[in-house]
Amino acid sequence: MSNAESGPIQEFLDEVEPTIFGFGAAITLIFVIAFSLRPDASLEIVNGIRLWILSTFNWFFLLVMLGFVLFLGFVIFGPWGRLTLGDEDPEYSFLSYFAMMYSAGLAAGIVFWGPAEAMFHYASVPPLFGGVEAKTAAAMPIAVQYSLFHWSITQWSCFTVMGLGIGYFVYNYDAPLRVSAVLTPVLGAENVDGPLGKIVDILAVFATLGGVATSLGFIGSQFITGLNFQWGIQLGDLGTVLIITGMVVIFTISLVLGVDRGIRRLSNFNMVLFLLLMVATLVFGPTFRILELGTQALGGYIGNFFEMSLYSQAAQSSTQKWVNIWTVFYWLWPLAWSPFAGLFIARISRGRSVREVAFAGIGATSLATIPWFAIVGGAGVLMQHSGTAQILGPVSEFGTAVSGYVLFGNLPIVGPILLFAFLVLVTTFFVTSADSSTLAVAMMTSGGKAEPSAVNRVFWAVLQGAVASILMVVGGVQALQYAAIISGAPFALICLVTMIGLIRTFQKDFGSVLLRDETTLWGRPDSSGKSGANVAATDDD
């Protein structure tokens, strides 16, 4: 075979799964072309679909996301947690594993919304607490409380369920390393490659591109807004495309380096910078007031968790409900990310126990996210309320993205340094998320190959950038949000199927929790010998 025949193009052609690759790329390109040629008509159609989804199924999204949290809580504290994903040793240390998981999730969104979300709830109190007057001391803990609710346990639950489902069936039942692996309990591992599995993988490709394009649009808008706010530089459509193209180039370089040299190292850097920025904000901000406000908000979050989780706001128009604009959007956005985030979590979770994956997914991530919103969001609200900084005015003029610039720019002594660190952190978190998503799409379109070719990865990286650039130019962040809602909706059902499949499989592999004694519950495999799972060794083994 000649060098040309054995080169990167031939490697790409040999590995690609034509149906998933072809339909996934075609659907995405049709979406992009439609917005390019008929932006107003396309936006109107997409908005109509969005409104129908929200008005018809918002209750379903609230219920299933709460169900995922309860299921994962049982996995963490219950007997099934000792089951393992395969029988090999974990590939990464727990800290690196957690850093990659966190960076692959909505960490860029967490950094973006950290200084911003509580400000919105302070200026306009959520209707669940409608008796509290806006812009008062009483509104501050509620504002931070709702941001904790939106960004911690619940939002990460769908990623974790999907990651558990894919990983468990790949490493214990020999399913292919694709999102469709979650259908193993329904179809059997040998039939996942059939038509239904391919449909799921095609939807996963489209959902991933829609979800990641939303984040790329948010981060791009943060740079564009910052240039305008800080230095008066106004970029037109060409500037928007160049900013997003630059980000695509950065994460493509990291992507080609691979998981170990690229994603793992950058993820570890992200977590160090994230911690330093958070600590610096606490130290140089109103320290004791931040701690007091954060404690109040955390208490309210715990006490009102179920009420906030199930609040559907029946008193307002179904299409204009506050809960649809905020909570339901925040659940649909991660649902759009769940295919790629779940696939990436599965990719790095071989050898870990079910309990470790579940705890890292909703426990450890929340232990990082809650302090961020309590400190950064709390500092913003306190500085606005005391008059130390005027954040709401610039937000009204320049948009949400400006909040971080105002907050960090007004911190004494280290403000300019923290502002620069904030921009770096947003960028690097997005780079790792984009790396992970592109790797996941390449894995799906290569039939489940753990290390897809560089050509495959670069193709999807470029297509993600094209989606974000075109939607930003013709419809702005609004179009990106609509895309995330539409692409995320089907995965509420797919994640639910995954959870039910895991429950059935865990019961089969470990025995029904109602029929086994305590010794069996806490570490013994099914005596029938039919278990497809592995069980972590107990101290008395």
Query: 261-303: per-residue pLDDT in tens?
Result: 556 777 788 888 989 999 999 999 999 999 999 999 999 999 9
Indicate if the pLDDT at residue 517 is higher than 50. no
Alpha carbons 42 and 60: distance in angstroms, whole number:
27
pLDDT at 486: 85
Residue ranges and CATH numbers for the domains of the chain are 17-510 (1.20.1740)
Q: Is the dihedral of CA 215, 217, 223, 228 positive or negative?
A: negative
Burial class of residue 44 in the structure, from the number of CB atoms within 10 Å of its CB (0-12 exposed, 13-18 middle, 19+ buried): exposed
Lowest-confidence range among 52-61, 106-115, 208-217? 208-217
Query: Per DSSP, what are the bridge partners of residue 535?
Result: 83
Q: In the predicted model, is pLDDT for residue 455 greater than 60?
A: yes
pLDDT tens per residue, range 325-354:
899 989 998 898 898 889 889 989 999 999
pLDDT of 260 higher than 70: no
> d(Cα 178, Cα 440) in Å, to the nearest integer?
8
Query: What's the pLDDT tens digit per position in 157-201?
Result: 999 999 999 999 999 999 988 899 999 999 988 888 889 999 999
Q: Measuring CA to CA, which residue among 351, 349, 355, 352 is closest to residue 522?
A: 355
Question: Count of alpha carbons within 13 Å of 249, Cβ hemisphere only?
Answer: 6
Residue 475 to residue 494: CA distance in whole angstroms: 29
- The whole-number pLDDT of residue 441 equals 81
SS3 534: strand
DSSP helix/strand/coil, 535 = strand
Give yes or no for residue 228 having a pLDDT over 90: no
Task: Provide mean pLDDT across the span 28-49.
Answer: 82
Poorest-confidence range of 93-107, 130-144, 476-490?
476-490
> Is 492:62 a contact under the CB 8 Å cutoff?
no
Confidence of residue 81 (pLDDT cuts 50, 70, 90): very high
C-beta pairs of 407-412 under 8 Å, 24+ apart in sequence: 407/115, 407/376, 407/379, 407/380, 407/383, 408/115, 408/281, 410/383, 411/280, 411/281, 411/284, 411/285, 411/379, 412/284
Residue 39, pLDDT score: 79
Q: Which residue has the higher pLDDT, 382 or 55?
A: 382
